Structure 1
Amino acid sequence: MNHVDLRLYGIIDPERTGGRNPVELVRQAVAGGATLIQYRDKHAEGRRLVELARALKMALEGTRVPLLINDRVDIVLAAGADGVHLGQEDLHPEDARKLLGPHAIIGLTLKTPEHADALAHMPVDYGCIGGIFATVSKNNPSPPIGLDGLRATLARARNASRGPVGAIAGIDASNAEPVITAGADGIAVISAIFMAPDPQAEAARLRRIVDEALASRSVLA
C-alpha cells in the first residue's frame, strides 16, 4: 500500500475555476497547503486531457504533491501522472493496478457502507466517502449522507482497510472541522479552493482547520 496524505485533497476541474488558468490555480493551492491534487475533466477529449495533465504534473515538480487523474488510466500512463481516482462504475481497481503497477496511487469513491466493506478485497491506497453535503460541483442523484452517514461508512472502511479515508462533496471552511472530528483523514474539495478569490489563502485556511481538528482528535483519543 502506497502512502497517501489526504489532509487537503484539491480537485481541479476546468469548469470550476471561474475562467482562470488551472495550472496557476494548482500552484496556488499547493503553496497554501494542498497535499494531493486530482485532475478531473468530464468533457475534454483525450489529447487535451493529456496536454493539461502534463502541464499540471510539471507544475507540481519539486513539491512532492502527487497528481492523480479522475477515471482515466490511459491518461495517467500517457501523462506520467502518479495515479488514478476511480468511481464505482469505472475500471475495476484490480485492472487499474495491473496496468499501472505497484507504485501508482489508486483511490476509490465510497458511496455506501457496502462499498467500504469491499475495500478489504481491493488493491487501493485510499478511499473517499461522498457525497457528504449538497454540492454544485457534481451532479449527484443520491441525497447527501451527512455526518451520520460518514461515520457509519468510515467505521466499515476502518474494518476493511488500513488505508486513509477522506470525505468529499460540499465541504468548505464552514464544515470541514466536523468532518474531520467525525473521523475522516482529510477533505477533498473543488469549489472551496478553486472558485475562491484567493486560492492560496483559502487552501491555507482549510489546511489549518484540518490540521487543528486532526490534532484535537488525537488528543481526545
Structure 2
Amino acid sequence: MNLDTYLVTAERLSEDRSTVEIVESAIDGGIDLVQLREKEMPARDRYDLGQELRELTRAAGVPLIVNDRIGLAAAIDADGVHLGDEDLPIAVAREQLGEAAIVGRSVSTAEAAREAERAGADYLGVGAVYPTDSKDTNPEGTEIGLDRIEAVAEAVEIPIVGIGGVKPDNAAAVIGAGADGVAVISAITAADDPAAATRELGAAVERGRESR
C-alpha cells in the first residue's frame, strides 16, 4: 500500500468542478490513494458518487477508501474505510469488510496512535499538522506541528500520513519528521491544475524522504 500522496475529496472546495473531475485529474498526476469524504452530501448522492469513483479508481489501480461509513464502503466495494474518534471501532470494520480491507484511523497523539495500532489499524492519519479550514478538529488535534508527527512515528510500526494544512511547500518537512505520506484536501481540490498540484506534492514527498 503506497500512501505517499493521498487525496481526501471535498466538492465544496472544487471551484465548481465535480469530485469525479478532481479525482480524474489527481489520478493523471499520480495520486496514490483516494478517500471519499463528502460529509455534507446526502447518503444516496454519496453512494452514486462512490460508485463512479470506484469504477474510476479501480481502472487506474488506485485504492479507494470511504470516510466513516463502513456500510457505504461495503456497498460500493471500496478497498477500505477511514475512521475517527466518533466512528465505529476498527474491529467492527474488520468484521464488516474483511481482513483484507484497508482500515485507517485518525489520531493526534502518540498514545492514541499506539491504541489504534493495537486495535489493528493499517495506517494512521495524524493531524491537523498545520492550520486548516478544510475540516474541523478538536483542540488537541489542532496545529499539532512536526514534533508530534515525529513522536507518533516513533511510537508505532504502521505507516502514518500527515494531514491538515499540508501543501507542496511544506509536505517535505512532514515527511522529514517521520511521516510516510501526506493527505490533502484543498491543496489538490482547490488547485487551478489538480494534476500538476498532485505531481508537485509527490515531488515534495520525495524531497522529504531524501532529507531523512
Q: What TM-score do you get using the length of structure 2 for normalisation?
A: 0.95
Q: CA deviation at 1:48?
A: 1.0
How many Å separate the matches in 2 of 1:215 and 1:145?
23
1:71 corresponds, among 68, 73, 82, to 68
**Alignment match, 2:146:** 147
Q: Match for residue 53 of structure 2?
A: 56
Q: Give the Cα–Cα distance (whole angstroms) in 1 for the partners of residues 117 and 184 of structure 2.
A: 26
**1:163 corresponds to 2:158:** yes
Task: State TM-score, norm by structure 1.
Answer: 0.91
* Structure 2 Cα separation of the partners of residues 103 and 149 of structure 1: 29
User: 54, 77, 82: which is aligned to 2:79?
Assistant: 82
- Choose which of 183, 188, 204 in structure 1 pairs with 2:183: 188
Question: Residues 174-208 of structure 1: CA distance to partner in whole angstroms, max 9, x if unpaired?
Answer: 21111110010000000000100000001001101
C-alpha separation in 2, matches of 1:51 and 1:82: 17
Q: Which of the numbers 15, 18, 21 marks the counterpart of 1:18?
A: 15
Question: Which of these residues, 3, 6, 12, is aligned with residue 6 of structure 1?
Answer: 3
Alignment length (residue pairs): 210
> How far apart, in 2, do the equivalents of 1:117 and 1:59 lie?
34
Q: Does 1:198 align with 2:207?
A: no
Distance apart, 1:215 and its partner CA = 3.3
Between the aligned partners of 1:176 and 1:64, the Cα distance in structure 2 is 24
For 2:71 and 2:12, the matched residues in 1 are separated by: 22
1:207 aligned residue (196, 202, 205): 202
Give the Cα separation in 2 of the matches to 1:216 and 1:135: 25
Distance in 1 of aligned mates of 2:82 and 2:138: 20
| Alignment-mate amino acid for residue 116 of structure 1 | A
C-alpha distance in structure 2 between counterparts of 1:215 and 1:152, whole Å: 20
Judge conservation of contact 2:36–2:65 (CA < 8 Å) in 1.
yes
Larger mean CA deviation between 53-62 and 187-196 belongs to 53-62
**CA distance in 1: counterparts of 2:58 and 2:90, whole angstroms:** 26
Cα offset for 1:144?
A: 1.0
Q: Which amino acid aligns with 2:130?
A: F
CA contact 2:191–2:197 (8 Å) conserved in 1: yes
**Does residue 1:178 correspond to 2:173, yes or no?**
yes
Secondary structure, in 3 states, of the residue corresponding to 1:62? helix
2:121 matched residue in structure 1 = 124
How far residue 124 of structure 1 moved from its aligned partner, in angstroms, is 1.5
Whether 1:47 and 2:41 are equivalent positions in the alignment is no
Deviations 1:75-123 (A, max 9, x none): 1111111110001211100111011001111100011121112034212
Could you list the runs of 4 or more consecutive aligned residues of structure 1 that deviate by over 2 angstroms after TM superposition?
none
Aligned Cα root-mean-square deviation (Å): 1.2
Q: Structure 1: how far apart are the matches of 2:209 and 2:186? A: 22
Q: Which amino acid aligns with 1:200?
A: A
Indicate yes or no: 2:109 matched with 1:109. Answer: no
SS at match of 1:178: helix
